[in-house]
């Protein structure tokens, strides 16, 4: 399966010096090439590692870092100190580096050759020495990086590198991410809003408002035959009542309208080069759309579901932060089987130890998380000023463990809130025909939900079966934002202390967020 990762590279730079002579540098180079080839052939890394040679001087380090900054294919740098590399020669290069950094603390050989080890071997194989020297200068310079410690041939070590690689790809993707907002925040909602300027400074993506008047030319340009073809595709892909195919019914017309909305949105997103979008009920075109046919007759829920599955970020009710975060989540999970979705805390189910939260939305839940083939249905939607029948995909999520996350604006910083959850089987909802998930937040409903609220978490979040907290930790490190994690070991007392320490940290270290 091809992914966008094929367009990216991770550069590998080995630290050395000329003190030990040319033969040592030749050996360092040979070992490094073997290690890079081994990683690429392991099958565990999603992005190709490209060996960029040894760095033996300050000028060489700086040149490599500048080249990495200017190469759009390079999404991150792996450094490893095979032998002792004096860290002062890394200062200028680290000062200019703008790409994510991973420091690999490993060694070419797995074990010490007890019977044959001599001083030449010691001088060459000094990762235990050189990596600490490099680690010191990174700490001294406050360089944000990931440190992976372990033997380079071990699968666990390779998989930790792979996590970081996926996050690097998502980070690179966000640096030219455009989110289009078809409407603003709704009903004075605070948690879905935030500082768009600081978001672009900190996380790279740009948010633009697009009035529906600018959408209408794309809507008018959609050809009926293309809509017909997409409707036929719906009927092939999803289970449905055969009566839905009756072109004389209003239900068929609603499916047709949903297909036209999807084609319109996709055309807009492609034309603008956008990677995500938001919608709301208040900006859908002509108010008399039932008679004029110019605009969306209801919120484009089916379109949003399908566009999310293609990788477009989505946030409901103008929630641009969730739209961007979902896109990042989708990029990190490229090629992984579990799936991801935008979700909303809908209602609570108090049931002792099985107390849980129903995750749904009016319509917009991504079919990537469906347990079975989604069902295409048309039902009345009585929310918003356009109350009418509308099409949607109906399903329940897979009962598995996953992780959900959200970003909130705390005024002086962004906070990434991550919660381990367990999706469980839900009972049928015959009167609520929407896509949904039912989960228990870790460590329990009471503690997990309380901690989320204490952290200022949104009612919207971005969920994945594949992406673990390690991915979000790497993302927060690269972005330079706060992350709090709610897991099986969380206690309210300890979590409150974590939040208090975060407040102190960012108040005392304002320069970290400037």
What's the pLDDT tens digit per position in 409-424?
999 999 999 999 999 9
Tokens of 144: 């944000």
Q: Between these two residues, 226 and 428, which has the higher pLDDT value? A: 226
Nearby residues of 118 by Cβ (< 8 Å), 6 or more positions away: none
Residue 317 in marked binding region: yes
For the segment 376-388, the average pLDDT, to the nearest whole number, is 82
State whether 230 and 333 are in the same domain.
Answer: yes
Predicted pLDDT of residue 513: 45
Mean pLDDT over 456-472 rounds to 97
Query: Range with the lowest mean pLDDT among 163-167, 278-282, 487-491, 497-501?
Result: 278-282
Helix (H, G, I), strand (E, B) or coil at 362: coil
Query: Do 169 and 189 share a structural domain?
Result: no
Tell me whether residue 460 is annotated as binding: yes
Q: Which of 174, 201, 219 finishes a domain?
A: 174
Q: For residue range 297-348, what is the model confidence (pLDDT) as tens digits?
A: 888 999 999 999 999 999 998 999 999 999 999 999 999 999 999 999 999 9
Is residue 371 a known part of a binding site?
no
Same domain for 326 and 443, yes or no, is yes
Q: In residues, how long is the chain?
A: 514
How much is the average pLDDT of 6-26? 86
- Same domain? For 235 and 252 the reply is yes
Integer Cα distance of 181 and 183 in angstroms: 5
Are 436 and 383 found together in one domain?
yes
What's the pLDDT at 302?
97
Residues 240 and 369 in one domain: yes
End-to-end CA distance of the chain: 41
Rounded percentage of the chain residues whose pLDDT exceeds 70: 96
- This prediction has a pTM of 0.94
Neighbours of 240 (CB within 10 A): 20
Judged against a pLDDT cut of 90, whether residue 366 lies above it is answered with: yes
Q: In this structure, are 200 and 347 located in the same domain?
A: yes
pLDDT (0 to 100) of residue 293 = 64
Output the CA angle 361-362-364, nearest 5 degrees: 65
pLDDT at 1 (0 to 100): 62
Establish whether the linkage from the previous residue to 243 is cis, with ω within 30° of 0.
no
Domain boundary among 137, 156, 174: 174
- What is the model's pLDDT at position 510? 64
Lowest mean pLDDT among 280-289, 354-363, 426-435, 453-462: 280-289
Helical (H) or strand (E) element with 139: helix 127-140
| SS3 state of residue 104 | strand
Whether residue 167 has pLDDT greater than 60: yes
Looking at the structure, tell me whether residues 185 and 168 fall in a common domain. Answer: no
Whether pLDDT at 282 is above 50: yes
Residue 511: what pLDDT? Answer: 56
CATH number for the domain harbouring residue 25: 3.40.50.10940
Q: Count of domains in the chain?
A: 2
Higher pLDDT, 494 or 4: 494
- Tell whether 417 and 292 lie within a shared domain: yes
Average pLDDT, the chain: 93
Query: Could you tell me which residue, 183 or 46, shows the higher pLDDT?
Result: 46
Please name the residues in contact with 153: beta carbons below 8 A apart, sequence gap of 6 or more.
Answer: 38, 42, 110
Instruction: Establish whether 361 is an annotated binding residue.
Output: yes
Give the 3-state secondary structure of 263-294. Answer: HHHHHHHHHHCCCEEEECCCCCECCCHHHHCC
Res 288 pLDDT > 50: yes
Single out the residue in 140, 174, 208 at which a domain terminates. Answer: 174
> Tell me, what's the pLDDT at 384?
63
pLDDT at residue 284 above 80? no
Please report the pLDDT score of residue 514 as a whole number: 42
pLDDT digits (tens, 9 = 90+) for 171-216: 999 999 999 999 777 777 888 889 999 999 999 999 999 988 899 9
Q: Show the domain range for 79.
A: 4-174
Q: 175-186 burial string, b = 16+ CB within 10 Å, else e?
A: eebbbbbbbebb
What is the band of 21 on the pLDDT scale with cuts at 50, 70, 90? low
Co-location of 297 and 380 in the same domain: yes
Structure confidence at residue 287 (pLDDT): 57
Let me know whether 196 and 47 are in one domain. no
Same domain, 211 and 166: no
């Amino acid at each position: 399966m091809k992914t966008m990762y094929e367009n990216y590279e991770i550069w590998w730079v080995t630290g050395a010096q000329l003190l030990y002579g040319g033969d040592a540098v030749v050996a360092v180079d040979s070992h490094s090439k073997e290690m890079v080839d081994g990683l690429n052939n392991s099958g565990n890394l999603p992005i190709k590692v490209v060996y960029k040679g040894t760095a033996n001087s300050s000028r060489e380090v700086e040149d490599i870092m500048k080249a990495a900054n200017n190469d759009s294919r390079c999404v991150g740098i792996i450094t490893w100190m095979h032998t002792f590399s004096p860290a002062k020669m890394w200062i200028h290069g680290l000062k200019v580096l703008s790409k994510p950094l991973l420091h690999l603390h490993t060694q070419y050989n797995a074990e010490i050759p007890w019977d044959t080890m001599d001083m030449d071997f010691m001088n060459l194989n000094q990762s235990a020495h050189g990596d600490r020297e490099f680690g010191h200068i990174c700490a001294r310079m406050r360089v944000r990086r990931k440190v992976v410690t372990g033997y380079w041939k071990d699968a666990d070590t390779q998989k930790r590198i792979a996590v970081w690689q996926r996050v690097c790809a998502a980070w690179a993707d966000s640096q030219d991410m455009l989110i289009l907002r078809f409407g603003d925040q709704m009903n004075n909602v605070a948690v879905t809003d935030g500082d768009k300027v600081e978001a672009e400074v900190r996380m790279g993506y740009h948010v633009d408002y697009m009035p529906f008047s600018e959408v209408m030319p794309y809507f008018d340009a959609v050809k009926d035959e293309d809509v017909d073809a997409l409707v036929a595709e719906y009927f092939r892909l999803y289970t449905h009542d055969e009566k839905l195919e009756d072109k004389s019914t209003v239900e068929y017309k609603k499916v047709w309208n949903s297909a036209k909305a999807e084609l319109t949105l996709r055309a807009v997103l492609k034309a603008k080069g956008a990677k995500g979008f938001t919608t709301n009920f208040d900006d859908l075109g002509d108010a008399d759309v039932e008679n004029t046919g110019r605009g969306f007759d209801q919120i484009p829920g089916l379109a949003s579901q399908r566009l999310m599955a293609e990788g477009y970020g989505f946030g409901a009710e103008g929630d641009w932060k969730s739209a961007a975060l979902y896109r990042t989540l989708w990029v990190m999970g490229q090629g992984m089987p579990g799936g991801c979705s935008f979700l909303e805390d809908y209602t609570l189910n108090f049931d002792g130890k099985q107390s849980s939260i129903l995750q749904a939305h009016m319509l917009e839940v991504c079919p990537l998380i469906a347990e079975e083939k989604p069902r295409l249905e048309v039902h009345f939607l009585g929310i918003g000023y356009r109350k009418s029948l509308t099409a949607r995909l109906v399903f329940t999520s897979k009962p598995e463990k996953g992780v959900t996350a959200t970003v909130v604006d705390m005024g002086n910083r962004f906070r990434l809130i991550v919660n381990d959850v367990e999706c469980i089987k839900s009972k049928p909802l015959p009167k609520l025909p929407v896509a949904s998930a039912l989960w228990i937040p870790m460590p329990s409903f009471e503690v997990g939900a309380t901690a989320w609220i204490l952290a200022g978490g949104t009612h919207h979040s971005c969920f994945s079966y594949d992406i673990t907290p390690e991915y979000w930790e790497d993302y927060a490190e690269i972005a330079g934002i706060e992350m709090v994690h709610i897991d099986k070991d969380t206690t309210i007392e300890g979590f409150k202390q974590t939040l208090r320490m975060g407040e102190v940290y960012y108040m005392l270290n304002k320069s970290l967020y400037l």
